[in-house]
A and B are shown apart, each in its own frame.
Chain A
Amino acid sequence: MSALLGWLLRAIFVALGVGAAIWLARWAREAGQRPGERWPVRIGLGMLLLAGAYAIGHARLLVKRPELEAARARWAFYGDPRLTEERRAEVRGWILDCSGDPSDALALYRERDGSMVRAYPLEEGGANLIGGGEDAGERDFTVERLFADRLREPRSLAELGEPHPAGKDLQLTLCLNATARAWELLENTGHPGAVIVQDVNTGAVVAYAATGGPQQAPVGIQEYSPPGSVWKLALSALWWEAGLPEMVLTCPSEIRLSERALIENAGRFSLPPVTVPEGMLIPSCNTTAVEMALIMRERLGEEAFVEAFRRFGFVPYTDNAPTGFQTDFWATSSEEWAERMSPPPARIRIGPETNRAEWGQLAIGQGPLDVTPIHISRFMQAIGNDGVMLKPTIEAEQAAEPAGGERIMSETTAERLQAVMLEIVDRGTARSVRPRVEDLAWDLGGKTGTAQVRGEPDNGWFAGLIFGADGDPRYSVTVFLEGGGPGGRQPASIAAELTRLLAARTESRAGESAE
């Protein structure tokens, strides 16, 4: 009603203007032919020119909108009552979680002492991605900030006529309880880091928790770290993809690659000869991985590595490290999100010039290799999706209709990796968390990683898959703890707890729908 009235009023205003324009046009046409004094007529024609000047002046300001908005934003430093009034009085849309249920909203309004306040149930747990938390005003890596225009869009046509239109909701793929639990587990470790859970079939990010202050780039998305032994999954994938046969290799406690380069197993363990790749992956034998890498280099050549790693979503380089951001990384409808939240390229320096020592380092996820947790998560999603990599997304609309992914490895290779990851949790480096998932119909598989950073405690990784009761992978789970290694302990433990939560949640929903 209000919107209709608004448009009726606009129509009347414009109709009156059109009437005046017609009258003026007639007058201007006949002005020269009428008898009478010329100077007043000339002045009248001058008035028409001034009307034209107004039209141009007004339109010019509208055309320069981006420039003027930017300038206003800059000068808002000294106060802008307009922005204050707009922001304080606005009612944005809610940010809904994966369920779409308003009671599980990630950002909503609540009444407190007669005032409306924007509430963030995740509090600090969502501060790095949703908004809210301490120093919320300074955080600009948030959905609240980057999807602000969407959240301010009137939720219906009727709202258009209101003084303060209620904004449109935005449903994310993030689940409130999974993200809350991930944050709780992450916070309990006392280490900086990130936890990312993705739906392997859609690429949807189901849980994201990360530490970091307002001035810090998002740890899970833009912070580099060597992946450690998690990288052995990529190495093994290449082995299988290249069609190399199973092979029995030794697993000594150390391997010398050059005079100065010595690679050891964690705790200098050694094993009897193992059948690779499985035998290398399950105990995460560094020396066997190095030997595998050297064999593959000899048999396949460097170019095969470059091509395979590129396919897996990493960026091989030789001289200058690639910089910038991968703005096509996400499946998103928001340019702001793509611009602000895209990760830098996950890069690996590899080529014919790579010496033997570096080659060995690369085999165990060390050396000139920089990845972010979200890159590892995407790689795990591809393994869980039988080799098809999808663009990650946090928007439910995007996840509902995922764009065709890219096959980065064969289905057989992906299945082999899935199977070996289950073995790793059953009897490998992540076996300590086996009891935590043993009573579930669901299962957890994954690869641990412990990355060494010079002068710092080891970073811990766990990159895994959560399997449903039917044995199919449902979610990928990536845990990165800065200084929180080894990966088989705290990181794997977080993954196990999330498996419990997701299993319980899914089963309880299945029960509800059955009822």
Chain B
Amino acid sequence: MAFFKRRTGRKDDGLEGIRVRVQPHNRPRMRRPGSALSMPRMLAWGVALATVFYILAHYSIVAGVWPVHGTAPGAGAVLMRDVAAGVAWLLLLPVMKFLGYRGSWLLVALPVILFFVTRPSLFQLFSDPVYQASGAERTEANELKAERSQLTTVIRAYDEERQQIVFGGPPPALPDPVEAAASATREVGWSIGRMASYFTVFLAPLALLVGFLWARRGGSLRSFREHRVWPFAVTLAIFFVLALFFTELGKVGGTTPWELLLPIFIMVWAAVLADDAYNIARPGEVMSVRRIGAMLVYGALPVVPFLLIRELGLSIVLAGSLATMLLVGTRRGWWAGLMLVVWAVLVVVAFNVDERSATRLELAYDPYPELEIGTPAAEEWAATLHQIKLFDANILDGGIFGEGAGRGHAGTAPNAADDGYITTIAAQWGLLGGLSLILLYTAFLVQMLVVAAGERGAFERSLVTGLAMLIAIPFWLATLGGVRVIPLTGVAAAFVANGGAKLLASALAVGIVAALSHRRAEADRLNAPHAVPGARSESGVRIR
């Protein structure tokens, strides 16, 4: 447990100018050269365990599930992609060390762990012949999967005598798992959307690095803050164009590119708050036309396109993030109270005015009404109920311990990899697995907020909080929606659920937060007083 007590990012090499040769083995562990750059040992163990999990869970699916269920076309490519993604995420850690990262390692390692423990479940869905099929093909795939499952189970579990009774002769040979994996790789058509969804998994670590490298130097953020109008205007324009002209059923070519725009809105809003935090914190000063106008433009206008495309979930994510930043940037509780009132009013209005929202509310709290089966009303409700009924089934099937890697029937639920990701985890890893994931994710979010709490500048503090909320809100919406604590909103959680643009945007955001954490650690290191033993810290000698 030493890891939990240890503070990273400190390096004390003694007073400059006085060279003392100390044999390395005599130095305290934390003072050995390069030790502050290393990941804490317990965290490294965590990453190692998650890596083992990632590899073994994939193996368990390929060797245990694929031969039984068969695979969807392109399953082999999905496997190769996951191998590449695993390598890419693991490489991130030594690269960060190479770059001299001194910030919180939890920030960088926990996304890797989260990705590693959840990806196998999604991998099973992406290679499942039924989950990947659509329309009429789905029924056929279901039949074939069932037939194959029965056949392989009989061949595996029955002794010779029984097989003789079943087959009336020699049984057919069991398909070889490796061959099955190889034969599953088929040529599939490539579109931009498909390529994007394929590559984001291993591009995400790169995005994190890009975010880190960009924000590591104070000049980049400072420049962005000073010239925020242009990036804001361009981003908003792109967003409106996408929303008005290219969106079909809430997506653009099967993707949600606006996820990538959200960190920009967050950064702009952080800049706006930081520049005027003093006045925004005072109720009397807020009430000026210029200030209210700025708040509406930078804080409310970015939400409008989401409302235009009826993307209620993401509008909550962005509005919630911006509101939280307002609270943290101004440090005024009354903003929290005000935001809560506005939020409550909006929720009441949404659930009373918007039929879709009202239906989702009912689905969360009373999904199985006592309607007479066979009536038109029941038939209509059955169509609405379909997804939530199968999400419930996932959770019930998983029980406490779950069915195991790739086991169970999570893939029968529509959007089991997106909206219902937590029910897929629950089906395969049970209540304990679900709780473990939630704790890991909570630790990750809390660590981001710890970084925010440690920031002294309003801009950095608001920015880190906003980026943390950009990841936290969809996570909680998706997770609590899956277990029907709140209505489903249709947003995806970063790192643990399917969603290419969300993953890239979140990785970028984590990279920026890591950069700020690194900068703070560097500043603390440089500012750290070198005191004589036993002296109070404020009486130390500052070495510049």
A residues with CB within 8 A of B: 2, 5-6, 8-10, 12-24, 26-27, 34, 36-41, 43-44, 47-48, 50-51, 53-62, 65, 68-69, 71-72, 74-75, 77-82, 84-86, 88-91, 94, 102-103, 105, 108-111, 114-116, 155, 159, 161-166
Contacts and interface: CB of A to CB of B under 8 A. Distances in A.
A60 B483 CA distance: 9
A59 B415 CA distance: 22
A2 B64 contact: yes
A512 B174 CA distance: 37
Contact of B145 (A37, A89, A109): A89
Nearest to A87: B146
A23 B1 CA distance: 9
Contact of A51 (B151, B379, B429, B442): B442
A8 B56 CA distance: 9
Contact of B461 (A12, A37, A110): A37
Given A9-B405, A10-B404, 9 more contacts: A51-B442, A54-B480, A71-B367, A85-B146, A85-B412, A89-B149, A115-B147, A163-B65, A164-B152
Contacts of A68: 368, 392, 396
Given A24-B446, A40-B465, A44-B449, A91 B60 contact: no
B362 to A, nearest CB: 14
Nearest to B124: A163
A6 B450 CA distance: 35
Contacts of A163: 64-65, 68-69, 149, 406-407
Contacts of B480: 50, 53-54, 57
Interface string B371-386: 0011000110011011
Interface stretch (B42-50, B199-207, B263-271): B42-50
B154 interface: yes
9 contacts: A5-B405, A12-B52, A39-B328, A40-B453, A79-B382, A80-B390, A86-B409, A116-B151, A162-B68
Contacts, number: 287
Interface stretch (B78-86, B164-172, B534-542): B164-172
Contacts of A2: 60, 64, 404
Contacts of A18: 436
A24 B392 contact: no
Interface residues of B, number: 106
Highest count of chain A CB atoms <10 Å: which of B64, B167, B446, B469: B446
A40 B404 contact: no
B56 A20 contact: no
Interface in B337-390: 367-368, 373-374, 378-379, 382-383, 385-386, 389-390
B153 A166 contact: yes
B385 A58 contact: no
A14 B389 CA distance: 27
A161 B158 CA distance: 16
Contacts of B479: 54
B299 to A, nearest CB: 17
Contacts of A81: 130, 142, 390, 412
Across the A-B interface, the 6 shortest Cβ-Cβ residue pairs: A17-B436, A166-B157, A78-B382, A71-B368, A88-B146, A6-B404
A13 B483 contact: no
A41 B449 contact: yes
B344 to A, nearest CB: 16
Contact of A61 (B130, B392, B400, B464): B392
Contacts of A41: 449-450, 453
A16 B449 contact: no
Given A9-B60, A20-B436, A61 B146 contact: no
B250 interface: no
A34 B389 CA distance: 45
Given A24-B443, A88-B146, A110-B166, A13 B436 contact: yes
A75 B449 contact: no
Contact of B4 (A23, A74, A111): A23
A162 B150 CA distance: 12
Contact of A62 (B400, B409, B472): B400
Nearest to A71: B368
A13 to B, nearest CB: 5
B426 A164 contact: no
B452 interface: yes
Contact of A102 (B152, B162, B373, B434): B162
A181 B514 CA distance: 79
A111 B404 CA distance: 29
A296 B252 CA distance: 93
A465 to B, nearest CB: 35
B50 A89 contact: no
B400 A13 contact: no
Contacts of B409: 82, 85-86
Contacts of B440: 16-17, 20
Interface in B403-442: 404-407, 409, 412-413, 426, 429-440, 442
Contact of B379 (A16, A78, A155): A78
Given A84-B142, A114-B147, A166-B154, A40 B461 contact: yes
A39 B442 contact: no
Nearest to A37: B453
A82 B373 contact: no
Highest count of chain B CB atoms <10 Å: which of A38, A72, A74, A110: A72
Interface string B465-480: 1001100100010011
B75 interface: no
Contacts of B437: 13, 17
Contacts of A50: 442, 476, 480
A22 B1 contact: yes
A68 B389 CA distance: 9
Contacts of B56: 5, 8-9
A88 B453 CA distance: 55
B305 interface: no
A77 to B, nearest CB: 5
Nearest to B410: A82
Contacts of A77: 373-374, 382
Contacts of B522: none
B327 interface: yes
A118 to B, nearest CB: 10
B16 interface: no
Contacts of A44: 445-446, 449-450, 453
B439 A9 contact: no
B117 A5 contact: no
Contacts of B117: 13, 16
Contacts of A166: 153-154, 156-158
